A and B are shown apart, each in its own frame.
Chain A
């Protein structure tokens, strides 16, 4: 019943609000991260032991930690560090996963093998592989990026494969084959442009996932080594002073929550906006 899925467009909808709030939060996150490269209120690594554990607005905007470092500055630089690792990890996962996904969709011969490989990769939770990689490479950015990125490959492979298979079933693919075009060319000209929206949505949602995982790795000491500030380690270090200085835990905790929320909202909003239902006129 085509009539039942008819969804008339109204003025301002919840989807639009989702997209707007998500975009604003994400822009704020990226903006703060980039700003931290050129300006922070204080040097985030500078310790002023005499000013330790000051409350918000007493010393700096958000107070200081147990070594007297400026919390706001650490948070800003931490945003940059988190985002860099998240972007690199998602980039790794998205590129390899998308390649695997479109290859699986294009050739049934690869399909079974690639999907089983993905199942195997999926069985490696990032924390576990980071611990193993950490033992091998030592903790640091490469460990975090590879651990998170490898986990993302099957996520992107599955999304891409499903979306690409739908496109392969379209008649315009048959028309392209009638025009003598090969698999690679059809993938580049017809399949990828039509699934790009879905991949972008997935990238946004996985960025949130990566930020959360990176925080987890840092919390366990498997992320960037000190003195580079990360949200995860800030949380870890705050534990000792939870009763005296709860703002030490609150600030990075809220930052993580806001970043994840913003990216998820952005992803959901984009998904609703890119929903091809409008084009489903057949």
Chain B
């Protein structure tokens, strides 16, 4: 068995809260979380708002630092790296955000947006080579290469999310973190984007840490799933095991609350 691509160990993040008068308190947003993600797999972190899943994503992306614990990517402890070395490693991990409207600068062309992470490469291609790279990234996510000359407002929410994915992929990263990447989309578009992520995984061997509140989405794309509640990872395992035979009370409660068509017909009987 190979070493996991991403290994999070005993990760904890406290935030200082400044209460109105009184002693300074702190909020433990992430509480002793450990998990590993194998290369080429999709690991979903599911939980309700405030459970710490987005903080976890930010720390894995080195946009925030942990209070304690380590994040290893391909064996390297991200937070032990010097700033320059970390900046160099960034090409290996990229992020797709929730809001397809807020995550693209409205004043930049799609080509410029998609090419932005190329800044991370020491030997960033220029001119024609750069354009070719952008064109390939756009085509990879099912958009025409000509989209590079357009601006974000010319695209629908689903297309914008494809642009955001193209941006995340342009440096050929090993790991992509998707933070609620389909939550803002209509259902039919959501299904298309999920299919796209699955196909990118199959074609490029991408590893994905998928943050979501939607169990239906987890079921569709994840290989493994971790359930978070109040900063803790309460349950984790292969997706079939956790969703079909949940061990923890909270997981069961979360699964039971999910609205499904299975309730059809029960309503009449109850009335």
Contacts and interface: CB of A to CB of B under 8 A. Distances in A.
Asked if chains A and B are in direct contact (CB within 8 A), the reply is yes
Interface of A: 170-172, 174-181, 190, 193-194, 279, 281-282
Contacts of A281: 101, 153
Given A193-B107, A194-B107, A282-B184, A176 B102 contact: no
A172 to B, nearest CB: 5
A181 B119 contact: yes
B37 interface: no
A281 B99 CA distance: 11
6 A-B pairs with the lowest CB-CB distances in the bound complex, closest first: A282-B101, A171-B103, A171-B97, A179-B117, A171-B102, A179-B116
B107 A174 contact: no
A178 B95 contact: yes
Contact of B90 (A171, A174, A180, A279): A180
Interface string B35-52: 000000000000000000
B87 interface: yes
Contacts of A171: 97-99, 102-103
A172 B104 contact: yes
B116 A175 contact: yes
Interface in B151-172: 153, 164, 167
B94 interface: yes
Contacts, number: 57
B99 A282 contact: yes
Sort chain B's interface into a size bin.
20 to 34
B63 interface: yes
A181 B116 CA distance: 9
Contacts of B184: 282
Given A194-B106, A282-B102, A282-B184, 4 more contacts: A171-B102, A179-B116, A180-B90, A180-B119
B99 to A, nearest CB: 6
Contact of A176 (B94, B99, B116): B116
A179 B103 contact: no
19 contacts: A170-B103, A170-B105, A171-B97, A171-B98, A174-B95, A175-B97, A175-B103, A175-B116, A175-B164, A177-B63, A178-B63, A178-B95, A179-B118, A180-B87, A180-B117, A181-B119, A279-B106, A281-B101, A282-B184
A190 B103 CA distance: 12
Contacts of A170: 102-103, 105
A172 B102 contact: yes
